[in-house]
């Protein structure tokens, strides 16, 4: 049997520009799959589902879903955040945050609205119900608790 001909040389990788569709109103979803650990930064428009581990900051115009057993270690900003796993870092949502039974946050939280399921855990400062630009009460005008004073 004659020897196989040599394989052709590999072409260098090239960048392919893909135009974003302006007619498709369906929002895409990107996934960090279970079993993956990724470090870096996520930014952009669209929905993100984290089933694995992500170390870094997330800033998306869309929904962020953190599945049970998943974790994010970094600052999180999104329109809506569903927490079923663990977040270690500050969490800011333009409209709402929803904690599932298995959800955990170690860090501060700021959201338009907040839903907390029994069994979820959080350690940090919480602000919700304030609209962007709305004046918050100053520390001097906040009511004081009468604890023996």
Q: What is the mean pLDDT of residues 23-29?
A: 60
Mean pLDDT of 40-59: 96
Q: Give the per-residue pLDDT at 16.
A: 40
Question: Average pLDDT, whole number, for the chain?
Answer: 82
For the CA atoms of 106, 108, 110, 115, the dihedral, rounded to the nearest 10 degrees, stands at 30
More confident residue, 109 or 18: 109
Number of H-type helices and E-type strands within the chain: 0, 13
Q: Could you tell me which of 52, 55, 102, 60 has the C-alpha nearest to residue 81?
A: 60
The angle at the Cα of 71, spanning 67 to 73, to the nearest 5 degrees, equals 145
Q: What is the pLDDT of residue 18?
A: 36
Euclidean distance between CA atoms 124 and 89, whole angstroms: 10
Residue 91, pLDDT > 60, answer yes
Q: SS3 for 21?
A: coil
Q: What's the rounded mean pLDDT across residues 129-135?
A: 67
Range of weakest confidence among 2-6, 40-44, 119-123, 140-144: 140-144
The two structure tokens encoding residue 26: 């369906």
């Amino acid at each position: 049997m004659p020897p196989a001909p040599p394989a052709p040389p590999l072409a260098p990788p090239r960048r392919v520009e893909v135009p974003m569709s302006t007619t498709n109103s369906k929002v895409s979803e990107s996934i960090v799959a279970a079993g993956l650990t990724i470090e870096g930064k996520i930014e952009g428009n669209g929905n993100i589902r984290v089933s694995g581990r992500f170390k870094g900051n997330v800033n998306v115009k869309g929904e962020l879903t953190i599945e049970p057993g998943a974790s994010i270690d970094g600052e999180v900003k999104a329109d809506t955040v569903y927490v079923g796993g663990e977040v270690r870092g500050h969490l800011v949502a333009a409209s709402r945050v929803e904690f599932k039974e298995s959800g955990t946050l170690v860090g501060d939280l700021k959201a338009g609205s907040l839903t907390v399921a029994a069994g979820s855990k959080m350690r940090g400062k919480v602000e919700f119900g304030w609209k962007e630009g709305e004046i918050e009460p100053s520390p001097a005008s906040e009511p004081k608790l009468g604890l023996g004073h």
